[in-house]
Amino acid sequence: MAKQFDVVVIGAGPGGYIAAIRAAQLGMTVACIDAWRTADGKPAPGGTCTNVGCIPSKALLQSSEHFEQVNHHFADHGIKVKGVDLDLQTLVGRKDQVVKQNNEGILYLFKKNKVTFFNGIGSFSAYVDGGWNIKVSGPAEEDLVAKHVIVATGSSPRALPGLAFDEKKILSNDGALSLTSVPKKLGVIGAGVIGLELGSVWRRLGAEVTVLEAMPDFLPAADQQVAKEALKAFTKQGLKIVTGVKIGEIKASGKTVKVPYTDSSGAEQSIEVDNLIVSIGRVPHTEGLGVETVGLKLDERGFVAVDDDCKTNLPNVWAVGDVVRGPMLAHKAEEEGVAVAERIAGQFGHVNFGTIPNVIYTSPEIAWVGRTEQQLKTEGVDYKAGSFPFMANGRARALGDTTGFVKVLADAKTDEVLGVHIVGPMASELIAEAVTIMEFRGAAEDIARICHAHPTLSESMKEAALAVDKRTLNF
């Protein structure tokens, strides 16, 4: 006898598990199916984000930053440390523990919210009498029937044509988070978010890192003033970033990987590295879902096709997160998951794509929300800009981390904040204030009139807002 649910969610990444919890909070009977398992066969809900994405990368970024600090910056504070050793096994083991705590946390949340969890592959089998038949294939086979289905099956790393990931020499994010020794030379293809974050991790731990990027500009989606400042800082740290390249035929035989490429001047170049991270974007994951069985429509790039409300072409079938259009970010997936659960319950869930923050957790951190200066120029928007450097911020000086600045862009007539761009310490935390202001459609003057604690990095946000009106107090 098939088990009946109001909602079955396929995928327990940030899109799926949050949708399941919200639907259960709203009084529906909910099941969530997820295929991820640990090497020793235990269920590992949390998706890419928890297992091989946001969480483990931030754990490694933190540990490697400590290593960088003790080796290169403690002496500035008068702390002399001799004989610093790297125990990579413990460092990576700690990351694995952080992941495990998050997996267990999600299982606890499912219990707490009465979400029934199935560890296995979920696939559509039929639509009968207004209900979706979903098969779970895993350690225990199950047949479920759902009034509503939320597809949250996420994404997978994109490989270069003809160069499969072996996770030993040719690494996706998965292998790049679990190396057992620090490579002497590491190559990275793609200077996007993964390339910069994981390239930074292994550089800090001692690798000589070269990042090869196809686009002529560095971080074209970021504000170009921010991108320039970040590139300067990364280069100073020893991260070699080459833009405008065309990658040739990669040879991964023997001990090293040879990467030939044509540089922006047209000259033939090549690097020989111990390991190569390929981080050239991700592709939607719909394998095993039974898309053809029920005629779930995909778009030309393989994403599940959805409307603005995350509705698919099938009745009562919704899709959220990386498997649908829009930025591949955990918080975007979560917002969509909540909104869909609320729509199923007859409420008016909403996701504001204009206020989704972007963060790159390098050092300096990069964070932004809203439009860049180049976008405003292209769109012909009349705007004012105000910037404030961390060099002039007391807290940043005390921290010993004065790289970068905050920039506020506001409408020239109404003063409404249109974009905020930060490169510098704790940008990931500072951006939340800008998101709040923009969500309330506030003005630069609103930020400027808010009392900010002293001494904090957040005073730089207030000063940048004052600079929009040409009246900074501390610069």
Binding site for ligand FAD (CB under 6 A): 10-16, 33-36, 47-49, 53-54, 57, 121-123, 152-155, 173, 194, 285, 288-289, 321-323, 328-331, 333
Q: 399 forms bridges with which residues in the sheet?
A: none
The listed partner (ligand NAI, ligand FAD, none) that binds 333, CB under 5 to 8 Å by sort, is: ligand FAD
Residues 405-444 that bind ligand NAI (CB under 6 A): none
Residues in contact with ligand NAI, shown as a per-residue x/- string from 184 to 223 under the rule CB under 6 A? -----xxxxxxx-x--------------xxxx--------
Residues recognised as catalytic = 454
Stretch binding ligand NAI (CB under 6 A), from 126-134, 183-191, 227-235, 343-351: 183-191
E-only strand ranges, 163-250: 170-171, 185-189, 208-212, 240-242, 246-247
The listed partner (ligand FAD, ligand NAI, none) that binds 11, CB under 5 to 8 Å by sort, is: ligand FAD
Burial readout 268-303 (b: 16 or more C-beta within 10 A, e: otherwise): eeebebbbbbbbbebbbbbeebbbeebebebeeeeb
Asked whether the beta carbons of 289 and 151 are under 8 A apart, the reply is yes
| Helix or strand (DSSP H, E) at 150 | strand 142-151
Residues 344-363 that bind ligand NAI (CB under 6 A): 359-361
The listed partner (ligand NAI, ligand FAD, none) that binds 215, CB under 5 to 8 Å by sort, is: ligand NAI
Residues 275-304 that bind ligand NAI (CB under 6 A): 279-282
The listed partner (ligand NAI, ligand FAD, none) that binds 351, CB under 5 to 8 Å by sort, is: none
Q: Among positive and negative, which fits the CA dihedral 171, 174, 178, 182? A: positive
CA angle 48, 53, 29 (to 5 degrees): 35
Q: 3-state class of 259 per DSSP?
A: strand
Q: What is the closest distance, in whole angstroms, from the C-beta atom of residue 47 to ligand NAI in the complex?
A: 12
The listed partner (ligand NAI, ligand FAD, none) that binds 152, CB under 5 to 8 Å by sort, is: ligand FAD
For 248-256, the CB contacts below 8 A with 24+ separation are 249/162, 250/160, 250/163, 250/170, 250/276, 252/163, 252/166, 252/169, 252/170, 252/276
By C-beta, is 55 or 468 nearer to ligand FAD?
55
The listed partner (ligand FAD, ligand NAI, none) that binds 212, CB under 5 to 8 Å by sort, is: ligand NAI
Q: What is the closest distance, in whole angstroms, from the C-beta atom of residue 176 to ligand NAI in the complex?
A: 11
Interaction of residue 315 with ligand NAI, rule CB under 6 A: no
Burial readout 154-166 (b: 16 or more C-beta within 10 A, e: otherwise): bbbbeebeebebe
By C-beta, is 17 or 361 nearer to ligand NAI?
361
Interaction of residue 333 with ligand NAI, rule CB under 6 A: no
Asked whether the beta carbons of 101 and 93 are under 8 A apart, the reply is no
Within 13 Å and on the Cβ side, how many CA atoms surround 207?
Answer: 27
Q: What is the closest distance, in whole angstroms, from the C-beta atom of residue 376 to ligand NAI in the complex?
A: 22
Residues 233-252 that bind ligand NAI (CB under 6 A): 247
* Length of the chain in terms of residues written: 475
Longest CA span, the chain: 73
Q: What is the closest distance, in whole angstroms, from the C-beta atom of residue 374 to ligand FAD in the complex?
A: 23
| Locus of tokens 């919890």 | 21
Q: What is the closest distance, in whole angstroms, from the C-beta atom of residue 373 to ligand FAD in the complex?
A: 24
The listed partner (ligand NAI, ligand FAD, none) that binds 360, CB under 5 to 8 Å by sort, is: ligand NAI
Within 13 Å and on the Cβ side, how many CA atoms surround 152?
Answer: 39
By C-beta, is 151 or 257 nearer to ligand FAD?
151
By C-beta, is 47 or 190 nearer to ligand NAI?
190
Asked whether the beta carbons of 432 and 458 are under 8 A apart, the reply is no
- Give the distance, in angstroms, between the CA of residue 271 and the centroid of all CA atoms in the same chain: 28
Residues that bind ligand NAI (CB under 6 A): 189-195, 197, 212-215, 247, 279-282, 327-329, 359-361
